[in-house]
């Protein structure tokens, strides 16, 4: 019997939804590169239900308890008195989502001697100290591709929202105004702009594909270059360095994982190399940007706008400067947890658990760490080390 400890975000303030805005979600069978969507033996939920919050339980309870395992689900994840901390000591598996991350620091891994699997229901396993996972033989797996397109759609939305000045214009309507000049004084067309992505993996290349019809100049930088035929098809210019990319772009979108190479990449110096009045959209991870340098750049006008859904730590404390800096379009971490995405990553979490509990191999593309080293998707896109430093600050959050 295994003990599975699952950290999920709290239910809606009005309670778990009895009904939904739509009756179904489209069924996707394959992703753009041909990879199949998750293939668990079965699922015990209806796609389109809220699965990522505590009462949704990722649809796992019937399956796990039916097989004799123990499932504990909590949103109480930060601080020494949290349920997460109390239950961790004899857990075999920890499941967490990046939206409401159960930070698995080296200290916590040390205090969980039975821990064998850290499963990310979603994409991005930087909330786990990967170095400690490597050293303790903990397997880290995530549901690769499950919400990449969800994020790519969000990136396009945020670029348009910033450049066209959508959010302040909407606010004038809510305030009862008709202030056209106020709305127009910061509003531009995306057409003709130079747009660049830092990383052209699943999300970054999907953003390029979606932006091509907007008749913009497309740019990217990445550790590995895209095949020449893809560069040609998209008409995208490769930059060997992020400095080169930001120096020519009006809009920059960050789509790389957080690991030691990318932590604090957008610091004061790099922001200063961007064009004055550039827009920065970060749906990758908050820690890739220097928090205070971004806030200063929004105040000085070096950035015309900043948007994204990722913060550090999560949840962000009430006094986090990105809540109040000018010209931002921030949301809580939501882009990868649409109801459509939840159906895929809940099914993927089930697939990974079925494999692990049966002693069958987990799909290679789902692996980040395995056998004491970076593996699968992790070996391609991460570097060894830890990016969880400072996560204890999440304890400062109190729900508003």
For residue 360 the two structure tokens come to: 């069958």
Of 123 and 274, which has the nearer Cβ to ligand NDP? 123
Q: Name the maximum alpha-carbon separation found in the chain.
A: 65
Is 314 catalytic? The answer is yes
Choose one: 23-31, 120-128, 173-181, 185-193; the region binding ligand NDP (CB under 6 A).
120-128
Q: How far apart are CA 147 and CA 203, in angstroms?
A: 9
Query: What is the rounded radius of gyration, in angstroms, for the C-alpha atoms of the chain?
Result: 21
User: In the complex, what is the shortest distance from the CB of residue 386 to ligand NDP, in angstroms, rounded to a whole number?
Assistant: 15
Q: Which residue among 75, 97, 120, 262 contacts ligand NDP (CB under 6 A)?
A: 262
In sign, the C-alpha dihedral spanning 74, 77, 83, 89 is positive
Q: Which residue among 283, 302, 338, 342 contacts ligand NDP (CB under 6 A)?
A: 283
**Which of these is catalytic: 69, 154, 219, 285?**
285
Quick check: 323 binds ligand NDP (CB under 6 A)? no
Quick check: 282 binds ligand NDP (CB under 6 A)? no
Q: For the beta carbon of residue 79, count every other beta carbon within 10 angstroms.
A: 12
Q: For the beta carbon of residue 373, count every other beta carbon within 10 angstroms.
A: 10
Of 169 and 262, which has the nearer Cβ to ligand NDP? 262
Of 46 and 224, which has the nearer Cβ to ligand NDP? 224
Is 327 catalytic? The answer is no
Closest C-alpha to 143, from 164, 165, 121, 163: 121
CA 10 remoteness from chain centre: 18
Choose one: 50-58, 290-298, 329-337, 391-399; the region binding ligand NDP (CB under 6 A).
329-337
Of 105 and 144, which has the nearer Cβ to ligand NDP? 144
Closest C-alpha to 8, from 126, 154, 119, 90: 119
Q: CA 67, 68, 70, 71: dihedral to nearest 10 degrees?
A: 30
Q: How far apart are CA 225 and CA 220, in angstroms?
A: 9
Q: Which residue among 251, 252, 377, 394 contacts ligand NDP (CB under 6 A)?
A: 377
User: In the complex, what is the shortest distance from the CB of residue 259 to ligand NDP, in angstroms, rounded to a whole number?
Assistant: 7
List contacts with ligand NDP (CB under 6 A).
122-124, 147-148, 151, 198-204, 221-224, 255-258, 261-262, 283-285, 309-310, 333, 335-336, 377, 380-381
The residues that are catalytic are 147, 285, 314, 333
């Amino acid at each position: 019997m295994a003990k599975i400890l699952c950290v999920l975000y709290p239910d809606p303030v009005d309670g778990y939804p009895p009904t939904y805005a739509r009756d179904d979600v489209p069924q996707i069978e394959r992703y753009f590169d041909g990879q199949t969507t998750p293939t668990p033996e079965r699922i015990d939920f209806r796609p389109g239900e809220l699965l990522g919050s505590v009462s949704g339980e990722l649809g796992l309870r019937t399956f796990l308890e039916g097989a004799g395992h123990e499932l504990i689900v909590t949103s109480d994840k930060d601080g020494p008195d949290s349920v997460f901390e109390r239950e961790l000591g004899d857990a075999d598996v920890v499941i967490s989502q990046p939206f409401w991350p159960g930070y698995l620091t080296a200290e916590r891994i040390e205090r969980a001697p039975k821990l064998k699997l850290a499963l990310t229901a979603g994409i991005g396993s930087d909330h786990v100290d990967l170095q400690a996972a490597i050293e303790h033989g903990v397997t880290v797996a995530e549901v690769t591709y499950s919400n990449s397109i969800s994020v790519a759609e969000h990136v396009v939305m945020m670029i348009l929202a910033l450049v066209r000045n959508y959010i302040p214009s909407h606010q004038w309507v809510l305030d009862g105004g008709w202030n056209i000049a106020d709305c127009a004084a910061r509003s531009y067309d995306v057409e003709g702009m130079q747009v660049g992505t830092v990383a052209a993996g699943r999300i970054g290349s999907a953003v390029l594909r979606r932006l091509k019809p907007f008749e913009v100049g497309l740019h990217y930088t990445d550790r590995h270059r895209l095949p020449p035929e893809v560069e040609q098809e998209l008409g995208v210019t490769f930059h060997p360095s992020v400095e080169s990319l930001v120096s020519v772009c009006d809009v920059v979108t960050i789509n790389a994982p957080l690991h030691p190479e990318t932590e604090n990449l957008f610091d004061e110096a790099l922001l200063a190399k961007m064009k004055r009045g550039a827009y920065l959209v970060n749906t990758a991870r908050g820690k890739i940007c220097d928090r205070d340098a971004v806030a200063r750049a929004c105040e000085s006008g070096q950035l015309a706008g900043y948007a994204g859904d990722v913060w550090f730590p999560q949840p962000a404390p009430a006094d986090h400067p990105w809540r109040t800096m000018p010209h931002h379009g921030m949301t809580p971490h939501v882009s990868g947890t649409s109801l459509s995405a939840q159906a895929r990553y809940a099914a993927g979490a089930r697939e990974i658990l079925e494999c692990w509990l049966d002693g069958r191999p987990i799909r290679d593309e789902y692996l980040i760490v395995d056998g004491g080293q970076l593996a699968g998707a992790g070996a391609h896109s991460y570097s060894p080390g830890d990016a969880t430093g400072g996560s204890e600050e999440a304890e400062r959050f109190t729900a508003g």
